[in-house]
Amino acid sequence: MNKVIAFSSFSIMKKPYGDPVVAGFEALTPPVFKVAENAEGSIARAKEIDDFEHLGNFERDWGKWGKFAVPNYYDGGFTIAEETRAGTLSIWENIQSVYNFTYSGLHGRAFKLRHKWFREIDYPTHVIWWIEREEIPTWKESVKRYDSLHKRGPTSFSFNISSPFDAQGNSLPNLYDGS
C-alpha cells in the first residue's frame, strides 16, 4: 500500500513542565517515545534535530516536520517555563497499529492516568489523516487537520480512532473499545 497514516496527539496539561503535578507524565515521556519508535507499524515520529534542551518546542528546529505549531484552542504559554501543551506527530503503517500502541502496554497504562496530568477539553485530542508513504507531515498541517476535525467532525480529511476512514475515503467501523 502506498498510503500510510499521519497521527497527531495534543493535550493541555494542568500545569507547566517542571511542576510536580505533571512530574509523572514527564517521567513517562521518554520511555513511551522509545516504545512508540519500536512499536509494530511505527514508521517515524517528529523529533527536534537540535540538542538545545534550554529551548522550548516553539523555538526548536524540527527539520522536515516544519516549525512547531499547535491548534488554535491552545491557551497556554509559548516559552519553556510556561508551556502546558503535550503533542506528538508521527507516521504509522495503519490505524490498527496506532490503536494497539495507544491502548496497550506502557502507553495504555499512562493513558489511563491522563486525567491526573491533563485538563478536560472539548476539542480533539488526536487527529489522523492519510498521506503518501514518502510524505512527511508538518506540525502546521496537523493544526489544519485539528481545526477541520473540530469544526466539521470526522471526515476523510481528518478523523479519529472512534470514526476512522480508509485511504479511499470510506468510513470504517469504530475501533475504540472504551478503554
pLDDT at 173: 83
C-alpha cell at 35: 516504545
Buried b (16+ CB within 10 A) or exposed e, 46-60: bebeeeeeeebbbeb
Task: Place 94 in a pLDDT band, splitting at 50, 70 and 90.
Answer: very high
DSSP assignment string, 110-174 = HHTTHHHHB---SS-SEEEEEEETT----HHHHHHHHHHHHHH-S-SSSBBTTB-B-TTS-B---
Position of cell 478523523? 159
pLDDT at 50: 86
For the segment 67-78, the average pLDDT, to the nearest whole number, is 93
For the segment 113-131, the average pLDDT, to the nearest whole number, is 95
Kindly report the pTM of this predicted structure. Answer: 0.93
Query: Mean pLDDT of all residues in the chain?
Result: 93
pLDDT at 178: 53
pLDDT at 43: 98
In degrees, rounded to 5, the angle at the alpha carbon of residue 32 between the alpha carbons of residues 22 and 120 is 40
pLDDT at 55: 83
Tell me the β-bridge partners of 4. 131
pLDDT at 179: 44
For residues 89 and 144, what is the distance between their CA atoms, to the nearest angstrom?
A: 13
For residues 179 and 169, what is the distance between their CA atoms, to the nearest angstrom?
A: 26
Specify whether the CB–CB gap between 82 and 76 falls below 8 A.
Answer: yes
